[in-house]
Amino acid sequence: MTDIREYLAHKPLLFDGGMGTYYKAAPGVECELANLTDPEGVKRVHAEYLAAGAQAIKTNTFGLPRMAAAQMPGWEELAEAGWKLACDAAAEKDAAVFADLGPALDTEAAPASSAYGLAAQQFAALGAKNFLFETLSSDVGVVEAVKALRVAVPDAFIMVSFAVLPDGYTREGLLFRDLLHRMEGSGVVDAVGLNCVSAPGAMKKLVQGLGETRLPLSVMPNAGYPVVTRARVLYQGKPEYFAREMGQIAAAGVRILGGCCGTTPAHIAALRAELDALPRQTGAAPAAKLSTVAAPEVEKDDAFLRKLDKGEKVIAIELDSPRVADLSGYLDGARRLQAAGADLLTIADCPIAQARMDSSLVACRVHRELGMCALPHMTCRDRNLNATKALLLGLYAEGVREVLAITGDPIPTAERDEVKNVYQFNSRKLAQYIVSLAGEGREMPSPMTVFGALNLNARNFDVELRRAVEKLENGMAGFLTQPVLSAQAVENLRKARQTLGERAKILAGIMPVVSQRNAIFMENEINGIHVEEDIIQRFAGLDREQGEALGLEVSMQMAREALPYADGFYLMTPFNRVALMERLIARLRTELLDAEG
């Protein structure tokens, strides 16, 4: 075929459809292995798509990067066989062949860049000139691999395609527009696009909202959404509908089109007819521009954030939501803490994976009824991307402007058979996702402020600090720390301030110990808490009143030592003892914060 760049200057390039779903419509081995076990079957699928009108086909090697990363025996032979089968089929129609590379996992032991690089260089050695990195949910490792590929094949045509939900976000919470801009900015990618997950109608809306782009766009949707029938997954989108929607996408200026899961040769044939009926273009028309209707004014921050931004020391206090459906007592406690001088109420999200009233719903109620700033904790444990987004939009609409993003404790072992963890992303990716929801043309008029957790009691605090830096890079504004109950925790807080600088707001954790039994339990059974032995021994033999009194003294001592390195305090209420925390807030205000002011 003519050089891809020259071809695109004159007319759209039509790809094939979903090799995997079409080949596996009949019982058989996994798709990539068929390059060796059923070469004629693979070549026949290529031929059917070419006969339907495709001018470019993908090698049957979608899983190759993961195979290469795992050093699966024989992966190089699979690549070579897949390349030869596609080339043989394409030669009869003078069609282009793209080395197809699906997503790779990214781990410390096997970085994604290495997996992509191994697979891409294997194809480069076979003579490949065109490469497609597809169905990606992140761009981690892609640019590094492409830059290395450019050295081996300077004139390569390289496409990168992301799999996004109908709202434009990948399963890792990354917005396609941001990914596209990063690909454009890399200077080494020739085209960028969308494929898989969404149907053509959803992709059309995404394309219409992109505005002008510098790189050619590629769109390869699924043929509708999957329906599971017994052991089979079926896509019921009709070829005529697929072709009509894709024709409108082409008319908007998209020059590279094709299909993904569920798209058969019949879908490609219908799209071929639709494209042939379009007026001839000599250049890529810009995509439709997003509407810029002014959004109504909304409250973009709250009193807590304004105080924090002005450099005033703040007090946040955690009060666990109830285990029952009665919130009256909880609201009374929150009201008392507010009157005592707390600036913010934080609500844990089912701590230690035990069900309590939803932290976000409680935060909305507190904000609405008390006018108090609230910080719901949001874990990655219980919600997928859709549920998380729905909750965030509701929080914003209710005036809640900050959240604490944490990974979350796993479900206890005994309950895992019935209650499953989700963990679709970690706290860093969750923070990046939350921040990405705000901006022109996006879901939120202004960004929510995202805080994270900082474990001052981590055994390897240098690793914890590196993670904190990554959290800041992913959009977090600051941290709430684990309780300061040791000299080492104070020293680690000092190191955190030195490393993170003033850009990170740090609230030092203060949790009153109320008895020796309480101290021993925290030391031995609560992850992330360390109580020095001399503190534990000081509580020996004390009754409740004496224990609370000593707990206040220890808390004040820790607060004094932490204050030079903190922007305020994060108080944790033991056993919902609101009266104790009222006393602690009063002393913090009068003895430390007011005196400092």
In this prediction the pTM is 0.75
Q: Tell me the per-residue pLDDT of 264-290, one tens digit each, with 9 for 90 and over.
A: 999 999 999 999 998 765 444 444 333
Contact assessment for residue 486 and residue 461, using Cβ atoms and an 8 Å cutoff: no
Strand 373-379 with 344-347, pairing: parallel
The pair of structure tokens assigned to 488 is 């080492």
Neighbours of 142 (CB within 10 A): 26
The reply to whether 87 sits in an annotated binding site is no
Is 350 marked within a binding site?
A: no
Dump pLDDT digits (tens) for 455-486.
999 999 999 999 999 999 999 999 999 999 99
With 0-12 CB in 10 A as exposed, 13-18 as middle and 19+ as buried, what is 270? buried
Q: Mind listing the pLDDT tens digit for each residue in 386-444?
A: 889 999 999 999 999 999 999 876 655 444 445 556 666 788 889 999 999 998 778 89
Decide: helix, strand or coil at residue 155. Answer: coil
Q: What is the pLDDT of residue 421?
A: 64
Q: Which helix (H) or strand (E) holds 507?
A: strand 505-510
The answer to whether 339 and 309 are in contact (CB under 8 A) is: no
- Residue ranges per structural domain of the chain: 4-276, 312-596
Amino acid at 73: P
- What are the tokens at 592? 């430390």
**CB-CB contact of 14 with 271 (8 Å):** yes
Mean pLDDT of the chain: 90
> What is the helix, strand, coil percentage profile of the chain, to 5?
45, 15, 40
- Mean per-residue pLDDT, 95-108: 94
The pLDDT value recorded for residue 426 is 85
Share above pLDDT 90 across residues of the chain, in percent, rounded to a whole number: 77
**Are both 4-276 and 312-596 of the same fold?**
yes
Task: Give start and end residues of each alpha helix (H) in 315-460.
Answer: 328-340, 359-370, 385-397, 427-436
pLDDT band at 294 (very low <50, low <70, confident <90, very high): very low
- Looking at residue 231, its pLDDT comes to 60
| Parallel/antiparallel/unpaired status of strands 373-379 and 217-220 | unpaired
What percentage of residues in the chain have a pLDDT greater than 70?
A: 90
Beta-carbon contacts of 167 under 8 Å, excluding residues fewer than 6 positions away, are 389, 443
Encoding tokens for residue 410? 């796993």
CATH of 4-276 given 2.40.10.10, 3.40.50.1000, 3.20.20.330, 3.40.50.1110: 3.20.20.330
**In the 3-class helix/strand/coil scheme, how is 70-93 assigned residue by residue?**
CCCCCHHHHHHHHHHHHHHHHHCC
CA distance 546 to 548: 5
- Residues 275 and 245 sit within 8 Å (Cβ to Cβ): no
**Domain 312-596: which topology?**
TIM Barrel (3.20.20)
d(CA 509, CA 263): 54
How far is residue 221 CA from its own chain's centroid?
21
Q: State how beta strands 226-229 and 232-235 pair.
A: antiparallel
